[in-house]
């Protein structure tokens, strides 16, 4: 049976001050009327129903996840006691799926991406599912054709094309981590590389077997957790075993070492919504290049990204290339070209014991 596993454990610090520890970016709206996590669940329907939807999130976000996704059975919201990257997250979901469905096939997707159109996403998922049905040991990734030389994404180097697929699908030759600008430009121009968007399809048993082979420390602890599923000792086992797992991505732990790894060329538009710059990509700008959300009055201002509420006015005079984000308790004003410094700001707030604003 098909299942979707939505990974919703991110903290979204680059979206401060709107994204906070108790309400990270996956619970916010950036494009459309739904939050990012609601979009992630909706785009899988009706091909995969709510009854086959699983969410892996931080224990602190259990209530908000349930509130935003009331259609997902509560026992299918899996709670991580702490963040441990994608390999333990996916392993945790795999053992839960296998407990109820030994033939489970997993679509694994992040909760905080924007993908359009939904119909093309579903077609791509169907193609990946068909490949896994023909080749049970297949590990299928989705690759997005680069539209610019991005330095913030990992890249997939494609190899030989499969002959028996109706959508362009290739063997994976190698994975390349976030490159410098020159290397990213070379990757983009070659036509042989895709952005790795972190969406996967495989059988639950296949990924668990791969963890056994390539990440035995994670697998051994998953096995101890597996024995506790459905017992009174589950919570204690989770608190003991999960934090002790190495914090490592599924790419590093498994995919860079495994055989039968394929990349399907994504036929959809994809945005990882990684920073406030995503607002400019996802929403129309005014004639001066400002992307505005909320009550904003710009005068002789250009190239700004501004987000506020409908009842709090942000007025700008003679400014250029700023990020301005207003919330009831904190306001950010930043140079759009130096957005990465938000992480430095978060560290400074922690140093000053201003955790209540994080």
Distance separating alpha carbons of residues 52 and 80, to the nearest angstrom: 19
Q: How far apart are CA 85 and CA 265, in angstroms?
A: 25
Could you give all domains of the chain from N- to C-terminal order, each with its CATH number?
Answer: 2-271 (3.90.550.10), 282-357 (no CATH)
Q: What is the mean pLDDT of residues 215-236?
A: 97
The residue assigned the tokens 């430095």 is 344
Share of the chain above pLDDT 70, in %: 100
Residue 53, strand partner residues: 4
* 117-162 confidence digits (pLDDT tens): 999 999 999 999 999 999 999 999 999 999 999 998 999 999 999 9
H helices of 143-233, where? Answer: 181-190, 204-214, 216-228
Cα 24 to Cα 10: distance, rounded to the nearest angstrom: 7
CB 334 within 8 A of CB 17: no
* Position 165 confidence tier, pLDDT thresholds 50, 70, 90: confident
Helix ranges (H only) for 104-252 are 118-134, 181-190, 204-214, 216-228, 234-241, 250
Mean pLDDT of the chain: 95
- pLDDT digit string, tens, across residues 67-77: 999 999 999 99
Residue 164: band (very low, low, confident or very high) from pLDDT cuts 50, 70, 90: confident
Confidence check: pLDDT of 60 > 90: yes
Provide the pLDDT for residue 29: 94
Contact 200, 125 (CB under 8 A): no
Joined tokens for residue 138: 């297949």
Express each pLDDT in 175-208 by its tens digit: 998 999 999 999 999 999 999 999 999 999 999 9
**Per the structure block, which two tokens stand in for 75?**
């026992």
Q: Over 90: is that where the pLDDT of 339 sits?
A: no
| C-alpha pair distances (Å), 308 with each of 73, 325, 332 | 34, 6, 11
**Contacts for 35 with CB less than 8 Å, ≥ 6 apart:** 26, 27, 28, 29, 68
Q: Is the pLDDT at 340 greater than 90, yes or no?
A: no
For the stretch 228-274, pLDDT in tens is: 999 999 999 999 999 999 999 999 999 999 999 999 999 999 999 99
Neighbours of 225 (CB within 10 A): 21
The residues, ordered by sequence, that sit 6+ positions from 32 with a Cβ below 8 Å of its Cβ are 39
Write the DSSP assignment of 322-334 as a string of letters.
Answer: EEEEE-SS-EEEE
* In the predicted structure, residue 90 carries a pLDDT above the cut 80: yes
Q: How many CB atoms lie within 10 A of CB 74?
A: 10
| pLDDT at residue 31 greater than cutoff 90 | no
The interaxial angle of helices 216-228 and 234-241, nearest 10 deg, is 170
Distance of CA 162 to the CA centre of its chain: 27
């Amino acid at each position: 049976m098909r299942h979707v596993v939505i990974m919703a454990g991110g903290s979204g610090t680059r979206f401060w001050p709107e994204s906070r520890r108790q309400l990270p970016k996956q619970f916010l709206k950036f494009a459309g009327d739904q939050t990012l996590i609601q979009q992630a669940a909706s785009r899988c329907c009706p091909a995969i129903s709510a009854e086959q939807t699983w969410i892996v999130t931080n224990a602190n976000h259990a209530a908000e996840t349930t509130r935003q996704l009331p259609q997902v059975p509560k026992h299918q919201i899996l709670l991580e006691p702490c963040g441990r990257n994608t390999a333990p997250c996916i392993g945790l979901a795999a053992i839960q799926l296998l407990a109820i469905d030994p033939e489970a096939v997993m679509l694994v997707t992040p909760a905080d991406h924007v993908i359009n159109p939904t119909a093309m996403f579903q077609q791509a998922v169907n193609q990946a599912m068909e490949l896994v049905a023909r080749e049970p040991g297949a590990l299928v990734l989705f690759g997005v054709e680069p539209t610019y030389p991005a330095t913030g994404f990992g890249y997939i180097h494609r190899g030989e094309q499969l002959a028996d697929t109706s959508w362009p699908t290739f063997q994976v030759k190698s994975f390349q981590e976030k490159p410098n600008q020159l290397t990213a430009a070379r990757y983009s121009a070659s036509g042989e590389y895709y952005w790795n968007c972190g969406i996967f399809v495989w059988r639950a048993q296949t990924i668990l077997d791969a963890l056994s082979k390539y990440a035995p420390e994670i697998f051994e602890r998953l096995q101890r957790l597996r024995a506790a599923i459905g017992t009174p000792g589950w919570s204690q086992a989770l608190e003991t075993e999960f934090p002790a797992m190495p914090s490592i991505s599924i790419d590093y732990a498994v995919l860079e070492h495994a055989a039968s790894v394929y990349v399907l060329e994504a036929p959809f538009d994809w945005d990882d919504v990684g920073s406030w710059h995503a607002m400019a990509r996802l929403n129309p700008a005014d004639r001066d290049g400002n992307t505005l959300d909320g009550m904003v009055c710009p005068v002789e201002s250009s190239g700004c990204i501004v987000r506020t509420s409908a009842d709090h006015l942000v007025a700008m005079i003679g400014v250029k290339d700023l990020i301005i984000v207003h919330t009831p308790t904190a306001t950010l004003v930043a140079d759009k070209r130096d957005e990465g410094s938000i992480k430095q700001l978060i560290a400074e707030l922690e140093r000053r014991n201003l955790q209540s604003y994080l």
